[in-house]
A and B are shown apart, each in its own frame.
Chain A
Amino acid sequence: MATESPSIDQLSDEFLAFSGSPRSPMGDAVREFKRNKLAVVSMIFVIMVVLTAIISPLLTPYPFALQNTSFARSKIMEPYVITTDRYDKCHWKGTPLDFGCTVFILGSDALGRDLLSRVVYGTRVSLAVALVASSVSLLIGLAYGTIAGYTGGRADEAMMRIVDFLYAVPVLVLIILMQVYFKALTRQGATGFAGTLIGWNQAMGGMLFLFVAMGALNWIGMARLSRGQVLSQKKKEYIEAAKSIGTNDTRIIFRHLLPNIIGPLIVIETLAIPGYIFTEATLSFIGLGVDPPTPSWGAMIAESTQGIRSNPHLVLIPGAALTLLTLAFNFMGDGLRDAIDPRSHNR
């Protein structure tokens, strides 16, 4: 017993105790990220927007689709505080209103819907798209790239040929075509499985088909990246060591390979989020995004650009929301990338 030499763990503990605070790659990355104030602020902002999206019903004075029908159509309420008269009835510039006495902080859109409520609910669509599109891209791309890279040989070649092939496809045009088809299908109605899907899609305000269309091709870049990562890790000693003691492939992939490559890939996926938000806004702008009356910032901007001369705030407020969210994701993504990229540490 007394002759037993200290284990690796004990040695490394002693080493760490000697060298001061323990440093792990993860700890380094966190420290590096925290040094970037802009990135930290952006991350806090993103978290706040996520919370806003979750508790939107509590933050909004009205449902997003409720129209104030006391006004003729296309009459826009300016940002205005509504006061009550002596009969306790709400008025706006002399006209009695349908619903109770609440403040229209940002006024209404052309259909008499509260702008604030719609902008707040709009976070849901943008964030849902950001989350789902990036997760789908990561999942499919990672699985595809890992299988291709790990298997190697003929299978790898064939799988990458498919990716090369899809790479030449104009993604947005294809998304538009798919959305055209889905919209037409929804209008026509269907039975069976397609009918069920249409039902779910309508329940989600048109987001389900949007996810399908956007997820269908967005994984290609991620597949290439993951394959590259897998190829570079595959030849490393730790994989060889695992193989030599007879670990099976599934275990090597999930326990050894993936944990080593997933961090950078997640960060790269974060950098793609602004692109997904833009794509959703673009689709909604041209009327192929979510279904009305689901509020999407892109659709809100599209509805109001015609009247920008008289009501600029109807464009500027959703526009500011869209820009700020993208800006926050960009700063956050940059900060994350700098934090995990060792080359940028010394810059």
Chain B
Amino acid sequence: MTKFIIRRILFSIPVLLAITIFTFAVVQALPGGPFSTVGEKSMPEHMRLIMERRYGLDKPVYEQFFLYLKRLAQGDLGPMFKLRSQTVNDIVAQTWPVSIQLGVLSLILGFSIGLPAGIIAALKRNSMVDYMATFGAVLGASIPNMVLAPILILVFGVWLRWLPIAFWGADPPFILGIFPKPTLEFWTHAVMPTVSLGTAVSAGIARLTRASLLEVMGEDYIRTARAKGLRERVIIIRHALKNAMIPVATIVGPLLAGLLTGTFIVEQIFALNGMGRRFINSVSEREYFLLTGLTLIYALMLVAGNLLVDITYAWLDPRIRYE
């Protein structure tokens, strides 16, 4: 197992390197450098050259790339061009925790609604509860967060005035760099973004849990367990659920990718100072180091997520052995 994990980590290094090269190439190919304009006006030629020299942008591309890699190895994601008082590391330190908090809350919401819904639907197959859960799950998977978020804002923010319609209820510095202070302000602000992002997650989990549990319940070993006279509760919890969770574990990888997509939209709509919004803005602001750095972080998260899935997989199903 340890060997497998180490091999997977080693395998992910060329992936991350390739993504770095690709991002770097795209950024280099973009017409118009970060200093071609000052605000709305174009920057005078000599000033542009000075600025480019200051950030090493006048060097040959390959030299810039190796310089970037060298700094990356030291944990330095590079400087900011416009917000010069900050570095990319500062921006990441401020915005990454917000996105992670949002993502984790959505995952928790997704599992805590999706799992029970899927299990109940499977156990009471073809009942009214099942139909409602199944329909609700398809509906939840079909409503995009860019539609759900405005509806929530409209209903709970504008009409009922129960919840705040924008911003994240916690600011950096966070506890241990990542945990928010669990104040009432934090929770009220977190409700709508979390629901916007978590609904699709719970729908996906509910659908898969139901299908997977139904399949497992038809297996021979469940019949054996019944024949032994085990209580239904024991059969479901001890025998069926663990195996039914295997396919569910596999969608956590794609789920993470989906959450990532969702944060672009949800952070934009709720004006959260998260990484997704910074990523989008970095495009138009031509913050090249920020763009490259955030791309790398996204790739890193996805790679880590897939690794986590494989480990969970092996834990759930001991038959899976990695040579």
Contact = CB atoms under 8 A, between A and B. Distances in A.
Chain A interface size band reads: 35 or more
Contact of A286 (B144, B151, B280, B306): B280
Contacts of B283: 176, 180, 288
A298 interface: yes
B138 A170 contact: no
Contacts of A326: 142-144
Contacts of A187: 31
Interface size class of B (residues with CB under 8 A): 35 or more
Nearest to B203: A330
Nearest to A169: B19
A210 to B, nearest CB: 16
B191 interface: no
B15 interface: yes
B129 to A, nearest CB: 16
B14 A172 contact: no
Contacts of A178: 26
B265 interface: yes
Contacts of B142: 274, 323, 326-327, 330
A119 interface: no
Given A185-B31, A323-B144, A285 B268 contact: yes
Interface string A238-279: 000000000000000000000000000000000000100011
A338 to B, nearest CB: 10
B147 A184 contact: no
Nearest to A286: B280
Contacts of A316: 150-151, 154
A107 B261 CA distance: 32
A331 interface: yes
B141 A274 contact: yes
Contacts of B146: 281-282, 285, 298, 301-302, 305, 319, 322
Contact of B151 (A184, A281, A282, A319): A319
Nearest to A314: B150
Interface in B254-271: 257, 260-261, 264-265, 268-269
Interface in A188-209: 188
A282 B158 CA distance: 24
Interface of A: 164-165, 167-174, 176-178, 180-181, 184-185, 187-188, 274, 278-279, 281-282, 285-288, 298, 301-302, 305, 308-309, 312, 315-316, 319-320, 322-323, 326-327, 330-331, 334, 343, 347
Given A288-B283, A347-B214, 20 more contacts: A165-B18, A168-B302, A168-B306, A169-B302, A170-B299, A170-B302, A174-B19, A176-B279, A178-B26, A180-B283, A185-B31, A279-B261, A282-B144, A285-B264, A285-B265, A308-B154, A326-B142, A326-B144, A327-B138, A334-B138
25 contacts: A164-B11, A165-B18, A170-B295, A172-B261, A176-B279, A177-B26, A177-B291, A180-B30, A181-B26, A184-B30, A188-B32, A282-B265, A286-B264, A287-B284, A288-B283, A301-B146, A305-B149, A305-B150, A305-B269, A309-B154, A316-B150, A319-B150, A319-B151, A323-B144, A330-B138
